[in-house]
Amino acid sequence: METHISCLFPEILAMIFSYLDVRDKGRVAQVCIAWRDASYHKSVWRGVEAKLHLRRANPSLFPSLQARGIRRVQILSLRRSLSYVIQGMPNIESLNLSGCYNLTDNGLGHAFVQEIPSLRVLNLSLCKQITDSSLGRIAQYLKNLEVLELGGCSNITNTGLLLIAWGLHRLKSLNLRSCRHVSDVGIGHLAGMTRSAAEGCLNLEYLTLQDCQKLTDLSLKHISKGLTKLRVLNLSFCGGISDAGMIHLSHMTSLWNLNLRSCDNISDTGTMHLAMGTLRLSGLDVSFCDKIGDQTLAYIAQGLYQLKSLSLCSCHISDDGINRMVRQMHELRTLNIGQCVRITDKGLELIADHLTQLVGIDLYGCTKITKRGLERITQLPCLKVLNLGLWQMTESEKVR
């Protein structure tokens, strides 16, 4: 027997280990398999989460998990049929298979042979052998799925998204990070642009499209028309979208977090489009957008002043831009301006005078700031997080 299931050991052991810090848990985990599994035992919202190594799994173990109220399962390694888990736990709610590199369409097909109405969360991140065929099974048998993680599943295509749009109408969260074959056509399927073939995933609230290089502004048009309930949109590293695409997003009133990190074709003009719309954004990330400068800060102050989190790392902003923004940003809690090498003590003084609700600020790589500016920043009444990596002081300026 080589199957190791943490929750089969006495709960008292897990309870004792729960008081240990991360370092001591690591030491305990080296003693034996039983202690390792108990040290990472986790309580969750409903019941307990089981972490499994499927090697020579005994199918009789899984009904015992069901009897203990286990509803959430993470498979750490997979060398035996996944069907044992599914058959033994008919009321499973969450299945995490992330990183199971040897999971294939065939293996998933043997596991999903009938409807599993209880399953709400499925994580297939980095399961690189999974293709559209598996998405067909998922769409057919997991009708109540609300969260689907496909990050790094590089064999997924627009056909797979059509299948998702056909069968998973209750989906609220979808991660397609680095799905390199996905294009505007696939996003159109999700947004219900092909109603004759698929209704679409119109209840989506969280959509991650990070590093989907084939996407263009047409995808943003589809999203704005069909995914009107979207709250969080991650477009980081999507080099094919541009300022024009921001016009489509600018009137999505439900959207509260937008990530445009490393989108090379986004400039001050794109920010202008966002600011002139009806957005009520709470978080915006335009870090590493080389065409973003001080004018963006002026636009933000005019139309996006309700932001609570703003990331501008490595953007071409200066003290002048800070001066044009700070007086309107009364709700800002987090400001990331790391590697903005034109920021000086003057900028920090403006931040300290006006952004009095700041909880966190990133000044990593801001090489022109000195002790004087830092002393002003540290006087912010709510400040809890201050990142100063790569900041250097002269010998006369060194402070703790």
pLDDT in tens, 196-234: 889 999 999 999 999 999 999 999 999 999 999 999 999
pTM: 0.85
Nearest to 230 by CA among 279, 182, 197: 279
What is the pLDDT confidence band of residue 31, given thresholds at 50, 70 and 90? confident
Per DSSP, the three-state class of 268 is helix
Q: Is residue 381 part of a domain?
A: yes
Picking from 176, 267, 258, the residue whose alpha carbon sits closest to that of residue 215 is 176
pLDDT in tens, 134-175: 999 999 999 999 999 999 999 999 999 999 999 999 999 999
Based on the domain organization, do 222 and 75 belong to the same domain?
yes
Instruction: Return d(Cα 66, Cα 89) in angstroms, integer.
Output: 6
Q: Are residues 308 and 391 in the same domain?
A: yes
Mean pLDDT of 240-253: 98
Which distant-in-sequence residues (6+ apart) come within 8 Å of 23 by Cβ?
none
- The confidence score (pLDDT) of residue 39 equals 63
- On whether residue 247 sits in a domain, the answer given is no
Q: What is the pLDDT of residue 272?
A: 98
- The domain of 388 spans 252-399
For the chain, give the number of residues.
400
User: Are residue 258 and residue 336 in the same domain, yes or no?
Assistant: yes
CA 56, CA 138: separation in Å to the nearest integer? 26
Domain end among 241, 265, 299: 241
Do 58 and 159 sit in the same domain of this protein?
Answer: yes
